[in-house]
Amino acid sequence: MNIGVLGAGSWGIALTVLLCENGHNVKVWSIDEAEVTMLNEHREHLTKLPGVKISDKVICSTDIKTVVEDTELIVMVVPSVFVRSTIKAAAPYISNQIIVNASKGIEEDTLMILTDVIMEEIPGIKVGVLSGPSHAEEVGKLMPTTVVAGAVDKETAMLIQDAFMSDNFRVYTSPDVIGIELGGALKNVIALAAGVADGLGCGDNALAAIITRGISEITRLGMAMGCCSETFGGLSGIGDLIVTCASKHSRNRRAGVLMGQGKSYKEAMDEVNMVVEGVYSAKAALKLSRKYDIEMPIVEMVNRVLFDGLSAQDAMIQLLKRNRTSESDKFESDRFDW
């Protein structure tokens, strides 16, 4: 296939390497002229994915028309805050291509998932999503990885599956696009909390608690939004959450660690020197929890640490001292007679 990749950060370059290994013709777009020059001259991203080489056949350009025209598949890999502006720029050159969103986030102003943002800008276009536990540092080295491709229609999901599937990169399919997008966006917010706990020196018990209660929060919201509960027990739910909360590659976790050590989120983002999606998704997650009247205490505390000046230590204490309750609302039903 002829494939255009919009976004040349670590994830975009990792997927480019994978797609080239699968035999596709790949072109990569970046708005940053210096980034494109570096990729063309060195055939690797020296700052964001050092040591991972891209094929000499890959065309890298700042001209979005060159990258998008005459393609069959377009992969969206820009930071979530730039998805709308990027698809607007690409729209004049898009006709029958399928777009797969590989970015993770929720648009703060509209509370729309990113596939909906794309469809709003290009009505009638076929859109899917690719998500799961898949750090660029490992995908770029063709290390074993498993993800899920979601789309409203099965044909689109299977086309995405076929494009990305390899001996090292296994792809499942799912129709639950909203659930997949929610899991991918909100796990970054929970990973900030996991990093904060680590920065405070709270230990492995706290990490396990944050992961477990974090997926509970995500699932409650997802169910209220009409998603399938199995999605949150799958790759784009608990799978992605585990790797983002625990991995040394996780930029959200690293930013949280720095905040737990006393730095502001701006200082943490500057030190990580990469986009920390959890910071952008945190406000949207909190707004969604209030819109659907879903209790999400970890998300709330992350927002208070990020934007309201609450210290990381106080946030942890407040989470631990919340009112006593059962682990699940189901335990309060008539089924269990205490």
> Can you spell out the DSSP letters for 37-99?
HHHHHHSEETTTEEEEEPPTT-EEES-HHHHHTT-SEEEE-S-GGGHHHHHHHHGGG-SS-EE
Higher pLDDT among residues 335 and 273, named by residue: 273
Average pLDDT taken over every residue of the chain:
95
* 11 contacts: CB under 8 Å, gap ≥ 6: 77, 102, 136, 139
pTM for the whole structure: 0.94
Residues 179-214: pLDDT tens digits?
999 999 999 999 999 999 999 999 999 999 999 999
First to last CA, the chain: 61
- Tokens 């959890």: give the residue: 278
- pLDDT computed for residue 336 by the predictor: 67
Where do the domains of the chain lie, and which CATH numbers do they carry?
Answer: 2-175 (3.40.50.720), 178-327 (1.10.1040.10)
Indicate the pLDDT class of residue 331, thresholds 50, 70 and 90. confident
Are the C-beta atoms of residues 170 and 155 closer than 8 Å to each other?
A: no
Instruction: Indicate whether 319 pLDDT > 80.
Output: yes
248 is catalytic: no
Q: Which is catalytic among the residues 48, 187, 266, 321?
A: 187
Residues 271-291: pLDDT tens digits?
988 778 888 899 999 999 999
Residues 122-153: pLDDT tens digits?
999 999 999 999 999 999 999 999 999 999 99
**Token pair for 75:** 């992969």
- pLDDT computed for residue 334 by the predictor: 63
